[in-house]
Structure 1
Amino acid sequence: MQAEFRHYHYPHTFVLESGTSLPEIDLAYQTWGQMNAAGDNVIWICHAFTGSQDVADWWQGLVGPGKLFNPENNFIVCANILGSHYGSTGPLSTNPQTGEPYFHAFPDVTIRDVVNAFELLRQDLGIHTIKTCIGGSMGGQQAVEWGIINPDLIQNLILVATNAVHSPWGVAFNESQRMAIELDKTWGESHPKAGIDGMKAARATALISYRNYETYQITQARQDHSLEKTLRAVSYQRYQGEKLAQRFNAFSYYILSNMMDSQDVGRNRGGIIPALKQIKSNTLVIGIKSDALFPIVEQEFLAKHIPGASFQVIDSLYGHDGFLIESGLMTKAIRLWQKLQLLEVNPMAEFFRELERL
């Protein structure tokens, strides 16, 4: 069973939260598996900052045959967000009004705009119920926003290493990255590689927030006391910048960093807490104990104010990136929550399951 890469075109004006608009939008997306006759087996996965619709690539520990999210009995959807690099309308796309790429003219897009675009795609696919919507980091920001925009749509909402409003701490990290891009002498130019060296420095800055002190102490420890060799942490930072430059562009990086900063579910809704209380989904919030970028207090806040939400903590060496790396711990946490839900709905179900095992 192979995943299918698809393309959705919305040929009408798409009005953004800021009041500006895009003359039309495209969403590149991937589906895996088949929607059943009841339409109740949809898994929608929201990707993070520089992720793509190819969820089996960046979350292969959770998605695939025999995995937690199995395309053999689920219809899995992941869409590339507006402003990104992987086929959806973004800064390198052609503006149909000018016939030229947007580049610096691409407007700011918010998390709420992304979810409104998802709503158009969902309707086009004939999806009326999402069994499970899951996202980590900026993907989690999308998922929680969707749970508020359309409270009756998502049955099960899983929010991982994310928040209801982006913190001043997170904004400061993002602004530092944007400053690095702005200092690139090519950033003012209009071509796909403009600002690319600045983006490499930005990515190196980001990696510090994605991991933590203990991560670097173990994975990038000094190998000897010589001054003649490049320190591992130095080569690692440069490698990560070069690696991203092979697959991304500075325009999208800049736009998406601003998008993350836009996260505030309370905007025009009477505040953060009233907004979260609109969520009707069965909700699991997962925090990572060592997360420096989205500290665990932010997930505690979500769990406290989303009605009936459950909260679990993953103890990982890898900081914020633990949501991508710790597939086993993630699977265990989600399956435990699913089991507890089953017991709440039907306490005898697990009893009979145990009888079948005997």
Structure 2
Amino acid sequence: MNSNYFKYPHPFQLEAGDVLPEIELAYQTLGTMKPDGSNVTWICHAFTGSQDVADWWQGVVGQGKLFNTDNQFIICVNVLGSHYGSTGPLSVNPETQLPYYHDFPTITIRDIVNSFDLLREHLGISKIKTCVGGSLGGQQAVEWAISQPDLIENLILIATNAQHSPWGIAFNESQRMAIEVDPTWKESYATAGIEGMKAARATALISYRNYETYGITQARQDEPLGKSYRAVSYQRYQGEKLAQRFNAFSYYILSQVMDSQDVGRGRGGVQKALSRIKAKTLVMGIKSDALFPINEQEFLAKNIPGATFQTIDSLYGHDGFLIENSLITKAIRLWQKLTKLEINPMEEFFRNLENKTKDRLDLISN
């Protein structure tokens, strides 16, 4: 992928107390920023995503699409700790001249947002028209909207939360345990722990989808004894697929980053923190999401002033935020239209927006 790089050659203070001697962020931009900077769309990527947003979210980013590169300046940044060019466990520590590996410090969602802000200032961006993110990306977006209430005009949060749940933390710890039992994990080389990461990814996938998803996409087909079940081969395939593009060190670190999400930390609680948001906000939840259950998005919408809540009915559980491009596009476009007209969208109208209303939405959108 073609990326730009921003280097901050100064000590970067981390929330947990450690300091990175310097940081580098890999990022991509699409489209052209207007002279007044009024068309900036900042998209935050999820767990193992990258700055190549037109690849992993190609259904909504591109010419003529929801996030239209013809008239929007779109930016996506690879988060600290990740595998795609930003400072992370495989980066060389300038103080030791060796890769960090196990010595990479603990980072949090707030650290990631603080690094984004350094890049924002470097690019001369004083206002973000729209900030959007799903899952781990949504955690970044809501944190940024709280830490800088006057920066973001429109905020779109999909399948995310204000505080990561014990349920979600337990899933992540199970994945870390899978990595830790890999006998190579204690070693210091780029592919250490990779077999453990494959098992971790298979564990994670269960939380990204749900019972109904597997019942349809991996349905049993009268397989004879001795032949692998579809669900078995699918789990192994997903582990192998990730191992071809990611590393166990980044996977381990980013699972901890997700666990760190708590917008109320040091702010008098979650509700008080959310009340600071000034952006016009659309919160979207997926009915079948097992990892970020829909009650977490209902909580966001209830506590963010003036927020609109929207449900998506998807077979694909949490992964629906990456798959249901048509539903997401229609819902966001309708919300944008109504907020532009200064019409207060009725919560019940959005709550009941599902596949069965597609024809009705087409009429409204046109």
- TM bucket by the smaller chain? over 0.9
Shift of 1:343: 2.1
Counterpart code for 2:236: R
Aligned partners of 1:4 and 1:31 also within 8 Å: no
Give CA deviations for 1:67-117 in whole Å, capped at 9, x if unaligned: 000111010000000000000000000000000000000001000000000
How far apart are the structure 2 equivalents of 1:345 and 1:218? 40
How far apart are the structure 2 equivalents of 1:283 and 1:170? 24
Give CA deviations for 1:319-338 in whole Å, capped at 9, x if unaligned: 00000000001001101111
| 1:43 matched to 2:38 | no
Map of 2:359 onto structure 1? none
Shift of 1:342: 1.8
Map of 2:68 onto structure 1? 70
Give CA deviations for 1:197-247 in whole Å, capped at 9, x if unaligned: 000000000000000000000000011142132100000000000000000
Map of 2:218 onto structure 1? 220
How far apart are the structure 2 equivalents of 1:196 and 1:37? 46
| 1:165 matched to 2:163 | yes
Shift of 1:281: 0.2
Counterpart code for 2:36: A
Match of 1:301 among 299, 302, 323: 299
Match of 1:255 among 250, 253, 256: 253
User: Matched residue of 1:313: which SS?
Assistant: strand
Match of 1:53 among 51, 54, 60: 51
How far apart are the structure 2 equivalents of 1:322 and 1:225? 29
User: Matched residue of 1:226: which SS?
Assistant: coil
Shift of 1:345: 6.5
Shift of 1:344: 1.2
What CA RMSD, in Å, does the superposition of the two structures yield over aligned residues? 1.4
Aligned partners of 1:55 and 1:78 also within 8 Å: yes
Map of 2:323 onto structure 1? 325
> What TM-score do the two structures reach when normalised by structure 1?
0.95
Counterpart code for 1:270: G
**Within-5 A mapping of 1:265-284:** 265-284=263-282
Map of 1:103 onto structure 2? 101
Map of 1:121 onto structure 2? 119
Counterpart code for 2:252: Y
Runs of 4+ residues deviating >4 angstroms: none
Map of 1:203 onto structure 2? 201
Give CA deviations for 1:181-211 in whole Å, capped at 9, x if unaligned: 0000000000000000000000000000000
Shift of 1:4: 5.6
How far apart are the structure 2 equivalents of 1:345 and 1:200? 48
How far apart are the structure 2 equivalents of 1:4 and 1:191? 26
Aligned partners of 1:4 and 1:32 also within 8 Å: no
Aligned partners of 1:6 and 1:29 also within 8 Å: yes
Counterpart code for 1:262: S
Map of 2:354 onto structure 1? none
Counterpart code for 2:288: S
| 1:81 matched to 2:79 | yes
Counterpart code for 2:222: D
How far apart are the structure 2 equivalents of 1:81 and 1:333? 27
How far apart are the structure 1 equivalents of 2:3 and 2:263? 31
User: Matched residue of 1:344: which SS?
Assistant: coil
Unaligned ranges ≥5, structure 1: 347-353
How far apart are the structure 1 equivalents of 2:52 and 2:221? 36
User: Matched residue of 2:197: which SS?
Assistant: helix
Percent identity over the alignment is: 75
User: Matched residue of 2:67: which SS?
Assistant: coil
How far apart are the structure 2 equivalents of 1:45 and 1:25? 20
> What TM-score do the two structures reach when normalised by structure 2?
0.93
How far apart are the structure 1 equivalents of 2:336 and 2:73? 18
| 1:21 matched to 2:19 | yes
User: Matched residue of 1:155: which SS?
Assistant: strand
Counterpart code for 2:99: P
How far apart are the structure 2 equivalents of 1:4 and 1:233? 35
Counterpart code for 2:93: N
Counterpart code for 2:225: L
How far apart are the structure 2 equivalents of 1:336 and 1:345? 11
How far apart are the structure 2 equivalents of 1:279 and 1:214? 36
Counterpart code for 1:133: C
Match of 1:188 among 178, 183, 186: 186
How far apart are the structure 2 equivalents of 1:339 and 1:327? 18
Aligned partners of 1:140 and 1:162 also within 8 Å: yes
Count of paired positions: 347
| 1:156 matched to 2:154 | yes
Map of 2:262 onto structure 1? 264
User: Matched residue of 2:315: which SS?
Assistant: coil
How far apart are the structure 2 equivalents of 1:18 and 1:159? 26
Counterpart code for 2:89: P
Map of 1:350 onto structure 2? none
